[in-house]
């Protein structure tokens, strides 16, 4: 449909059950706003000042082991704690509702080499990370009081990453967070209404259309969704219907590692920079209940808009009314599709 949509319009996001406004003509507007710095490599393979490098002491005082693969630990400055005080007092008004929030927050280092990113790691190295993610998910979701496990990576200073060492965070919560609750409701409604999986139908629709597909392998499809909000937002979806990391076969874990390598390399090559993004896996709540509606997927939400130094800001209308994007998802997919899978900055 891209050929006829070069004018302002809205697109429906069935996974979030919300709209996004698309304004293709705004790509021509002049830019005199903030221009950031082009992101470069982290430098040496070992940084004696890095609190995530092997053998170094972390900011909280603990010392890292001399790890040679992946390494995880409970975050020294966790946003959530497993034990919180019981609350007996009642609010003065129902409009002042609050409740305790419990959880376990962990950090997982991808590699001992401080200078690497997923894009510059080998598929075999990324597969070890996939296995570690799966193990962490199984362990945390197996706790009877944990309702959801969110695995996410903030890559780059532009996305608020406090340390360039290759790592991610894993926050497990005793509640289902809002975004996941919304996706659960949308997928459940689609299943009840049609008898089919929402993301299975989405993948079938996108593969038929073709114009928003970036690439696919035997087990995963990587695409810019019809309803993307961020300029180069990407959805990574398993081809087989499964609900979480633990349900992936060994071959599918290899496929996930391959897809992550190829996508992040294309991102870096788009503007020949170390591309910032927030990435996170969305999977079935880990509360022991059956979730036939859930389909495993990952969201990539990068801020860059025009170049390595000009980003998209979610301000004004986006914060006060609804999301809006300039370039169409189809043109974003075409640009990513045309990027090389050979990294511009090899190891």
| Residues contacting 205, CB < 8 A, separation 6+ | none
* Rounded Cα distance, 147 and 33, in Å: 42
From 167, 282, 295, 299, active-site residue = 167
Residues paired with 152 in a beta bridge: 169, 280
Crossing angle of helices 250-271 and 329-337, rounded to 10°: 100
Torsion from C-alpha of 294, 262, 307, 315, nearest 10 degrees: 10
In the residue annotation, 167 being an active-site residue is answered as yes
Distance, in Å, from the CA atom of 271 to the CA atom of 309, rounded to the nearest integer, reads 9
Q: Is 247 helix (H, G, I), strand (E, B) or coil?
A: helix
Dist CA 56 CA 63 (whole Å): 6
DSSP line for 279-321: EEEE---SSSS--TT---EEEEE--B-SSSS-B----THHHHT
Active-site residue set: 167
């Amino acid at each position: 449909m891209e050929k006829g949509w070069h004018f302002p319009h809205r697109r429906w996001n069935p996974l979030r059950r919300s709209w996004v406004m698309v304004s293709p003509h705004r790509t021509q507007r002049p830019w005199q706003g903030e221009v950031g710095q082009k992101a470069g490599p982290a430098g040496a393979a070992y940084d004696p000042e890095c609190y995530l490098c092997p053998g170094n002491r972390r900011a909280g005082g603990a010392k890292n082991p001399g790890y040679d693969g992946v390494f995880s630990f409970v975050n020294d400055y966790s946003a959530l704690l497993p034990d919180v005080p019981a609350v007996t007092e009642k609010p003065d008004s129902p409009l002042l509702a609050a409740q305790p929030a419990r959880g376990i927050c962990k950090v997982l280092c991808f590699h001992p080499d401080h200078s690497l990113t997923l894009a510059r790691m080998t598929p075999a190295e990324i597969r070890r990370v996939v296995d570690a993610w799966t193990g962490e998910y199984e362990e945390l979701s197996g706790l009877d009081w944990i309702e959801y496990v969110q695995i996410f990576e903030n890559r780059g200073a532009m996305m608020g990453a406090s340390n360039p060492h290759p790592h991610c965070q894993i926050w497990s919560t005793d509640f289902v967070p809002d975004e996941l609750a919304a996706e659960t409701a949308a997928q459940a409604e689609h299943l009840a209404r049609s008898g089919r999986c929402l993301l299975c139908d989405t993948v079938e629709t996108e593969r038929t259309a073709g114009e928003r597909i970036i690439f696919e392998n035997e087990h995963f499809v990587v695409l810019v969704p019809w309803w993307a909000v961020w300029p180069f937002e990407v959805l990574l979806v398993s081809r087989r219907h499964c609900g979480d990391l633990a349900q992936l076969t060994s071959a599918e874990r290899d496929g996930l590692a391959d897809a992550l390598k190829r996508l992040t390399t294309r991102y870096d090559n788009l503007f020949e920079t170390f591309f910032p993004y927030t990435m996170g896996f969305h999977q079935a709540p880990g509360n022991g209940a059956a979730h036939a509606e859930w389909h495993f997927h990952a969201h990539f939400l990068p801020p860059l808009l025009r170049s390595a130094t000009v980003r998209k800001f979610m301000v004004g209308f986006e914060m006060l009314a609804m999301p809006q994007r300039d370039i169409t998802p189809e043109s974003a997919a075409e640009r990513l599709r045309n990027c090389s899978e050979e990294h511009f900055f090899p190891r």
